[in-house]
Structure 1
Amino acid sequence: MSTRKLISVITPCFNEEENIQDCYDAIKELFATKLKDYDYEHIFCDNASEDNTVKELERVAAQDSRVKVIINANNFGFLRSMFNGVLAAKGDAVIPMMPADLQDPPELIPTFVDYWEKGYKVVYGQRDKRDEPFLIETGRKLYYKFVTRFSKAKIPVDAGEFQLIDRKVVDALKLFDDYEPYLRGMIAQCGFKSIGVKYFMKAREKGVAKGRFFLLFDLALNGIVSNTTVPIRVGLVIGFLMSILSLAYAAFLLALFLFNGRSDVNKGMASVMIGLFLLSGIQLFFIALVGEYVASIHAQVRKGPLVVEDRRINF
């Protein structure tokens, strides 16, 4: 008699009291129908919620042992909380990110499983279209294309953490020692056989979105710093070119002085000031960029814990 395969579903959450029941019901229904030949565990990773999310999780876990809960002692960010959930998962396959608000459709999971059974170790969801303003969606796409184009590993365009990964990939992820884990990039670096499935990402129906501008900006910088050194190289090239142009301009002014016997300092003051502000702006930009890399190194070297857990339920 063959053993049923176990699939682990990870749901990081923060102040999601309105969505816990719906998310639980959606996954339960899925494994009761289309995935009835598989066992599952649904791991909720709470990031020190300030509403009744923990009470909702305790209630759901009390009635279903397949629901497992990790309650963090503080808010460590959803990336670290999610990765901690992946490390705790026991499944033959793991879905690292099933959002509590169900913006990523759970009905896509059977398709993920089908490709997994065909031998793909990574099946990632690709957000072909989003239910959000045009400018925000365009900005996201440009960012994804930039990271994909210049990262060490080829991160799929428009792919997030909503994907299915094989146990071999999970074991490979355990080899990473990253204080700020950019999971989609880490999965791409593992290099297993993968395939994408396009889908429409719908708008949140309940609760307030946690992806505020500064959070998204922080995640974007983390993705760049974690996966590419191209911005630093760009700064090197621009600095070199500006130095060459400055020397050429100085030679040009010297030639004017030698041939004309005078220098039009006052007439050239505007161009000097514009050049000064331009160079200062470029310098400040790249100093700040280098600061991001230094801050990332500083956080990694200090070796703080991935998360600090308050308690676990049903483990």
Structure 2
Amino acid sequence: MKKKITVVTPMFNEEDNVTELCDRVAAVMKNLPYDYEHICIDNCSTDKTVSVLRKRAAGDKSLKIIVNVRNFGHIRSPYHAMLQATGDAVVLIAADLQDPPEMIEDFVKKWEEGFKTVMATKPESEESPVMYFIRCVYYKIIGKISEVPLIPNATGCGLFDKEVIAILKGLSDPYPYFRGLVCEVSHPIATVPFKQPRRTRGVTSHNFYTLYDFAMLGITKHSKIPLRLMIFFGFALACLSFLAALGYLLAKLFFWHAFALGVAPIVIGFFFFTSVQMVFLGILGEYIGSIQTHVRNLPHVVEAERINF
């Protein structure tokens, strides 16, 4: 009996890319000696993405569709779809074609060599130089502070053996940082580097908030260092404040008539310490928010419909 590979693609308003994506995935899988299923999970698109998928699925039983009742975000929806896979290996690939489906062959080769996890990395990219620089800096920072070794410049696209998926199913994580999670449960990890092309059709659903959410999720899930830095920085500021106060006291005692305290140091100090407190409260709030998400333990998504399952 032939092994099966499940290809998972999360979608949101990708009507311009659906047909080419499915054609390219089918062409790649035709050249591989495996059965396959292609699960597309739609995150409540507002364009014709679902209509295009329905039409194609009517003549292609290997294409399976999950339609969500609402948009559950870019983190929960693809993770849910991966947990529905029945293949011996699961390939996660984006719908925008920036992760070329042809990389599936490279993933499978690494899998056949014995790797349980294979991740795509982009040491080069045709995206905005500013965004690429920010991403590189972020990955370097989180790589330094993370409690587990993370894969730098990973896109999230890759192949994951059914043993890895079985571990993920048992974790019950309602809001996972997937790239970090697989690094915790699967070693060694193979990588497939590629130059990421620009998006040619459609508009990305990512904005500043979603990117910030993703970045903070990676930090709060895999590092306690920000919390400990708050303690160290607070202690250092307390010492600095004591020394400054002592210096002003001595200056006033020895130069009573010549030394005037003035309002400026008080105002500057007030705004400085208030700003530091707000930053610390924000960091603490991110960790509390992560705890609150886990405590609620809501499902990853609520499905409206399944097709071809």
TM-score (norm 1): 0.94
Mapped contact 2:116–2:186 kept (Cα < 8 A): no
Farther-moved stretch of structure 1 (136-145 vs 206-215): 206-215
Counting matched residue pairs gives 309
The CA distance in 2 between the partners of 1:246 and 1:304, in whole Å, is 45
Compute the displacement of 1:305 (Å): 1.7
Code of the residue aligned with 2:89 in structure 1: it is A
Change (3 A) 1:219 1:50: same
Alignment of 1:152-171 (within 5 A): 152-171=147-166
1:133 CA displacement: 1.7
CA contact (8 A) 1:45 1:71 kept: yes
Q: What does residue 110 of structure 2 align with?
A: 115
One-letter amino acid of the structure 2 residue matched with residue 81 of structure 1: S
- Secondary structure of 1:106 counterpart: coil
**Identity between Structure 1 and Structure 2 (%):** 38
Q: What amino acid does structure 2 have at the position aligned with 1:177?
A: S
Shift in CA distance, 263/187, structure 1 to aligned 2, threshold 3 Å: farther
Aligned to 2:47: 51
Q: Which residue of 2 aligns with 1:287?
A: 281
Which of 2, 8, 27 is the matching residue for 2:25?
27
Residue number among 227, 230, 234 corresponding to 1:235 in the alignment: 230
Match of 1:133 in 2: 128
CA distance in 1, matches of 2:36, 2:158: 16
Report the Cα distance in structure 2 between the residues aligned to 1:300 and 1:288, rounded to whole angstroms. 19
- The equivalent residue for 1:14 is 12
Which amino acid letter does the alignment assign opposite residue 88 of structure 1? Answer: Q
Structure 1 stretches lacking a partner, 5+ long: none
In structure 2, which of residues 57, 72, 75 is the aligned counterpart of residue 76 of structure 1? 72
Q: Secondary structure at the match of 2:102?
A: helix
Match of 2:178 in 1: 183
Unaligned runs of at least 5 residues, structure 2:
none
Q: Deviations over 1:101-151 (max 9, x none)?
A: 110111111111111111111111111111112111100111111112211
CA deviations 1:200-227 (Å, max 9, x no partner) are 1111111111112221111111221121
CA distance in 1, matches of 2:173, 2:183: 15
Cα deviations across residues 185-244 of structure 1 (Å, max 9, x unaligned)? 110110322111110111111111111222111111122112112111111111110001
Give the secondary-structure state (helix, strand or coil) at the position aligned to 2:122: strand
Runs of 4+ in 1 over 6 A off after TM superposition: none
Give yes or no for contact 2:98–2:198 (8 Å, CA) kept in 1. Answer: yes
